[in-house]
Structure 1
Amino acid sequence: MIDLNADLGEGFGRWHLTDDEALLASVTSANVACGYHAGDPATMRRVCELAAERGVRIGAQVSYRDLAGFGRRAMDVPAAELAAEVAYQVGALEVFARAAGSAVAYVKPHGALYNRAVHDAEQAAAVVEGVRLAEAARGPGSPLPVLGLPGSRLLAAAAEAGLPTVAEAFADRAYRPDGTLVPRTEPGAVLHDPEQVIERALRLAGDGELVAADGGRLRSAARSLCVHGDTPAAARLARRVREELAAAGVTVRAFA
């Protein structure tokens, strides 16, 4: 069994980057942009309504405040400020998720914040503090899982704080031998060949391993598989990945 997630709602005003309706036909979890790297209130509301209608879990994809750079530029944000901004983003999405008859089911950082929280203990702790603030506002009995890279400072900090953690892998990103992602500034960081992406998804679900850029094998306990929503033909790719997983006897189901 594995969860299939993708980034949704990555537009702003009249500009739309992700094919949200098509992606929601295939994924089981939707990482919804919360307005800091992409997204706006109308987009967040629309995506939450569509996700709730289709039974797709809604996740808050929190980011550095970087609309111009799509949240992919390195930033130095004080820990207290970052924690507040994470809580703010989760809270904003929660309004629309609840209004749609659903709820925010997990939190996943985006872009530069995701990569920074892999190795930066302070920034990871700030993200976790923000999630805990948002969780406290939901009341008792409403845990907020954190989705992140296996072995990251983020998941370690979340576990230490008592938050549920979910390890994820990327079907369409290249990996370094140490299990971290190849930076997007390097050639081959994003995989575009559908057959290569599908092979990676099947290997992960069946054997629990990934192949690094140098050909080495990486063990992975990932429970969720990400297909980026902003890559060309993302919706078609997500549909094929889900079909091939099902054909291989893998149950595709939300972790949350």
Structure 2
Amino acid sequence: MNTTHQQNRVALVTGGSGGIGKAVAERLAADGFAVSVHYAGNQAKANAVVAQITSEGGQAIAVGGDVADEQAMSSVFDATEQAFGGIDVVVNTAGVMTLGPIAEYSLEDFDKIVRTNVRGTFVVSQQAARRVRSGGAIINFSTSVTRTQFPNYGAYVASKSAVEGLTMILARELRGRNITVNAVAPGPTATPLFLEGKPESVIESLAKATPLERLGQPEDIAEQVAHLAGPARWVNGQVIFTNGGLA
């Protein structure tokens, strides 16, 4: 495990118990970060990520809470600071996705997406803006579908477009703090969130859509996050499309 260039730095990863969040937590731990692995409902999965990190010599704790609940997330930030002494990087991977055409879309499902993806990102970003130390980074998550505009993604893209706007504004509001704020916008990535409910033919078609002719892997996205969390100090107020060249 490489514990040289990021030693004594601390990262909080929301949605860190599975998919992209798990890969991000493990990658940042490998880079020497102490990691707070956040979960919403599956503590066992978060504990497994913590166990994996600590078995390899890293530092990690599991912290639970609804990202849209400001009291719960304040407690998550408190627990991280108490465990590790502060917070340098916040990576907000937590999100939900329910697909369907706008004309027929359930407003109940829409409210759920807005609550987690928009309010949740706002709550986490608000806490991060108050607490991240100088030299740190805030990394939110969008989607490449804001650009590809696939049908059935209307509600999801609406929520992630809001995330992009929030991220750009926060980067400007933190002027003088030496904190970068960016959004990562993955393309089709082989996670349970993406694969669930899709027939094999659709998955194959999306894999072929990129010039690299494969789906992204969670580790591909974690690579981009690690860059923004570490050496990329001149990348700020950007949406980074991390999608293998998906047009």
TM-score (norm: length of structure 1): 0.42
Structure with the higher fraction of residues in helix conformation: 2
Highest RCO, 1 vs 2 (Cα 8 Å, sep ≥ 6): 1
